[in-house]
Every structure is written in C-alpha cells, then in structure tokens.
Amino acid sequence: MRNPQLTRNGELQHLLTIDGLPREILTAILEAATPFTVVAEREVKKLPLLRGKSVFNLFFENSTRTRTTFEIAAKRLSADVINLNINTSSTSKGETLLDTVDNLCAMQADMFVVRHASSGAPFLIAQHLAAMGLEHIHVINAGDGRHAHPTQGLLDMYTIRHYKQRFDNLVVAIVGDLLHSRVARSQIHALTTLGVPEVRVIGPKTLLPADISQLGVRVFHDMRAGLKDVDVVMMLRLQNERMKGALLPSPQEFFKSYGLTAEKLHCARPDAIVMHPGPMNRGVEIDSAVADGPHAVILPQVTFGIAVRMAVMSMLAGA
C-alpha cells in the first residue's frame, strides 16, 4: 500500500506521522527549514509562498503554544489563518468531525492543521479528503492522542542538527513519561530514521510502554546510568492530565528519581544539550537551574519550530 502521506511522485502530500517517512524526506524538510530562519531577522518577516491560501487550525484539544507557532508560520507565509477551537464549538452541538471538515472544505480550505485527543483523527481526515477527491487539500498532524506529533519531532531534529551538525555519531536519551507521549514516539522514529546509532529511553516501568524496546531503543530505569555520556537529553513533560490511576507515587518522588538536575546532568557529556518540548513542569521533570542553564536549548527549539513549520507548509502547498 502506498504511504498515505506521499503523492504518487513520492512528494509529501500530508504530514501525519514520521513513522514510515523515508530519510530523504526528513532531510529535505530539515534542509528547507534553514533559509526560513533568516526571514525572522528581516524588516518584513513575510514570504509570499502561501498567498491566497486558507489554513484552518482545527484544535479539538487545547494547546496555546503549538497553535500559536503554526499560526505564526502560516502568517509569515502570507496565508489567511482561521483558528477553530472545536471543543467549544460545533462538536458540542453534535456535529461529527467529518461534517466539520466538509463544511470547511466548502469554505475553500487549502490546509488543515489538526490537533485531536484521539489517535488517528488526522489520518481519518486525510482519508476522507482522498475519498472526496479533494487531494489538493493538505493535512498536518499537530498532535493526535498518544500517537504522533511530527512537527515537534522534526523541530527537535532541526535543533539537534543545529548544535551537533550530524546524527551518525550521537547518543540521545529521551527521559520521563513515554507512555503518554506522542512527542516521544515521533522523536524515536525521527532519530532512528536519521541514523542516530544509540537512542535510549529513561523512565519508571509504569511510564514506559511495555513494547518500547521494539522501536530499537535501549531502556534504562536508572537515570544516572541512562545519562552516562549522552550528547542530547530530551526531556518529556509529565502528563499529569493524562494520568489515570496510580502510575506515580507523587511529583516530588518523580523529581527525585527522574527530574533533571545539574548533578544528574553531570553524567552526560560536558557539551550535552538539554531539550524540552514545553510546557515545562519546573521542579517535576526538570530543575530550574538546568532549564535556565547553559546546556538548555529549549527556547531555540521554539524559534526553530516556526521555521520548520514554514518549511513543512511550503512543501505541502507546492506538492
């Protein structure tokens, strides 16, 4: 079966997940992103690539930061951006997801940026568009359930490449609540596709999916052992709102074992970088001294995120 994200010519049609995307496409996105970073330094921070296009931000789940960076990216490409917070809108009146999409297609949508609590919702929309013969409309997954958050994964790869130049000599550790994390899944797929030789995951048994080692990662439950000589530390947010039952004794206990402190970071390489997808729980998964310290590249991640999303939107619009 053809990858539903790619056109017949192998170009990116939708961005739904990093899983299954060829390395050439990931590299092309990372390379395309660099010239977009320059735009932010200019007097006029706008490019005409999406002039006349309508981008609909369909957020069925709240997210201020992700929605804002997609909105800025689309606006810097001169698109018209329409933000819909659907949990406060039509679905509460009983309209189905695909009815909402049909209505927006009737309003000449060119691109949907979709955030949904259910895994697979952006796939469903892409399939529906194909069935309706609306292949000119593109879908970007901005986070679906526990499944994927591909633009976050890509901006993380862009950040790593910016600081480390290459992937094929790195040891990367992903730390924290992997069980509930769509970000972690996208990161693991991206890191392995780009040829990182050693990807580690660090966390308590209760917060690591049972089958995680099948993704080609080394599993650690002891943080100091897991951080030994790593080049990149990717922290995850402790997803309090997704916790059901007693997966954790308390945030304080979690911090003691898995919170990134300067002392634990000392196990990593001296030039290690520390990343976090935000929003951070200071004092839970990361200590303020590290979050604001010299190893942290958390704010550059946000800035690069705009350029990476501009690159993705431009590639889709030109496909």
In angstroms, what CA-CA distances link 138 with 40, 71, 76, 172, 225? Answer: 25, 16, 18, 32, 43
> Which one of residues 197, 216, 283, 318 is an interface residue with other proteins (CB under 8 A)?
318
Place of tokens 């209505």: 103
Identify which range of 41-49, 95-103, 224-232, 254-262 contacts other proteins by CB under 8 A: 41-49
Q: Are 277 and 151 in contact (CB under 8 A)?
A: no
User: Interface residues for other proteins in 298-317 (CB under 8 A)?
Assistant: 311, 314-315, 317
Cα 275 from Cα 158, distance rounded (Å): 12
Asked if 34 is part of the footprint of other proteins (rule: CB under 8 A), the reply reads yes
> Which one of residues 23, 46, 166, 266 is an interface residue with other proteins (CB under 8 A)?
46
| Side chain identity, residue 103 | N
Cα 296 from Cα 46, distance rounded (Å): 29
Asked if 136 is part of the footprint of other proteins (rule: CB under 8 A), the reply reads no
- Helix or strand (DSSP H, E) at 179: none
Burial class (CB in 10 A: 0-12, 13-18, 19+), 66: buried
Asked if 20 is part of the footprint of other proteins (rule: CB under 8 A), the reply reads no
Shortest gap between Cβ of 249 and other proteins (angstroms)?
49
How many residues bind other proteins, per CB under 8 A? 22
> Which one of residues 2, 8, 42, 244 is an interface residue with other proteins (CB under 8 A)?
42
Asked if 165 is part of the footprint of other proteins (rule: CB under 8 A), the reply reads no
Q: Which of 23, 6, 5, 11 is nearest to 191 (CA)?
A: 23
Q: Is the Cβ of residue 31 or residue 253 nearer to other proteins in the bound state?
A: 31
> Which one of residues 3, 4, 6, 28 is an interface residue with other proteins (CB under 8 A)?
28
211 Cβ partners below 8 Å, 6+ apart?
Answer: none
Cα 203 from Cα 62, distance rounded (Å): 26
Shortest gap between Cβ of 44 and other proteins (angstroms)?
4
150-164 and 23-39 helices, crossing angle to 10° = 70
Q: Are 269 and 231 in contact (CB under 8 A)?
A: yes
Q: Is the Cβ of residue 148 or residue 312 nearer to other proteins in the bound state?
A: 312
Identify which range of 33-41, 144-152, 173-181, 233-241 contacts other proteins by CB under 8 A: 33-41
Q: Is the Cβ of residue 47 or residue 124 nearer to other proteins in the bound state?
A: 47
Shortest gap between Cβ of 108 and other proteins (angstroms)?
15
Identify which range of 44-52, 92-100, 101-109, 140-148 contacts other proteins by CB under 8 A: 44-52
Asked if 57 is part of the footprint of other proteins (rule: CB under 8 A), the reply reads no
Q: Which residues here bind other proteins, judged by CB under 8 A?
A: 11, 28, 31-32, 34-35, 37-39, 42-44, 46-49, 311, 314-315, 317-319
